[in-house]
């Protein structure tokens, strides 16, 4: 069974709000960079980047991180995410880096992302934006910017459909 939890309009409004909150919390966009986590997070990071750029009339540096599970079934919590590929072509020293992902669950992906960032450079600050916080954290990691909070059972899954890949935006909750 599928239950829609965010429409295209909901997603658009959330991304506008998150973009504005990022600028507000950082008192502008000086030294700001956006890094998307492969794959959903990359599309969302691009959108947030464009929204901020349109508003502030500046270019924001962006990058991507590709993180997958060490073993293959990501549906199981407590598995180990590893960083497959980093694509960050700006110096992170003195930068405020906003990580963007579609869903946060256990927090392990973000932990791996932060480890990778620290290996590359020394950001002044790392912040986290996610479209959906499904709860179920196994680490003390919380997002700074959240589209929607929705507690999801371990045997449920959130489908994040984004126009870039699925033709239209929509977020649905499904029983496995």
Residues within the interface to ligand 5GP (CB under 6 A) = 37, 40, 74, 81, 101-109, 134, 157-158, 160
Nearer to ligand 5GP among residue 88 and residue 128 (C-beta): 128
* Closest CB 31 distance from ligand 5GP, rounded Å: 26
Beta-bridged to residue 121, according to DSSP, are: none
Cβ–Cβ under 8 Å, residues 102 and 72: no
* Closest CB 131 distance from ligand 5GP, rounded Å: 9
Task: Supply φ then ψ for residue 11, to 5 degrees.
Answer: -65, -45
The per-residue b/e assignment along 110-128, b for 16 or more CB within 10 angstroms, e otherwise, is: bbbbbebbeeeeebeebbb
Nearer to ligand 5GP among residue 28 and residue 135 (C-beta): 135
Nearer to ligand 5GP among residue 30 and residue 139 (C-beta): 139
* Closest CB 113 distance from ligand 5GP, rounded Å: 9
Cβ–Cβ under 8 Å, residues 117 and 126: yes
């Amino acid at each position: 069974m599928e239950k829609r939890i965010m429409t295209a309009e909901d997603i658009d409004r959330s991304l506008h709000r998150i973009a504005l909150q990022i600028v507000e919390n950082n008192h502008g966009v000086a030294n700001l960079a956006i890094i998307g986590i492969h794959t959903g997070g990359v599309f969302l990071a691009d959108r947030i980047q464009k929204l901020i750029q349109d508003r502030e009339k500046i270019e924001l540096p962006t990058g991507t991180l590709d993180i997958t599970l060490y073993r293959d079934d990501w549906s199981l919590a407590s598995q180990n995410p590893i960083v497959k590929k980093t694509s960050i072509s700006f110096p992170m020293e003195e930068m405020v880096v906003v990580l963007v992902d579609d869903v946060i669950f256990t927090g392990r992906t973000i932990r791996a992302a932060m480890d990778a960032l620290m290996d590359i450079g020394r950001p002044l600050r790392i912040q986290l934006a996610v479209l959906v916080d499904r709860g179920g954290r196994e680490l003390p990691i919380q997002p700074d910017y959240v589209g929607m909070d929705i507690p999801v059972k371990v045997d449920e899954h959130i489908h994040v459909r984004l126009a870039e890949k699925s033709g239209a935006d929509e977020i649905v909750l499904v029983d496995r």
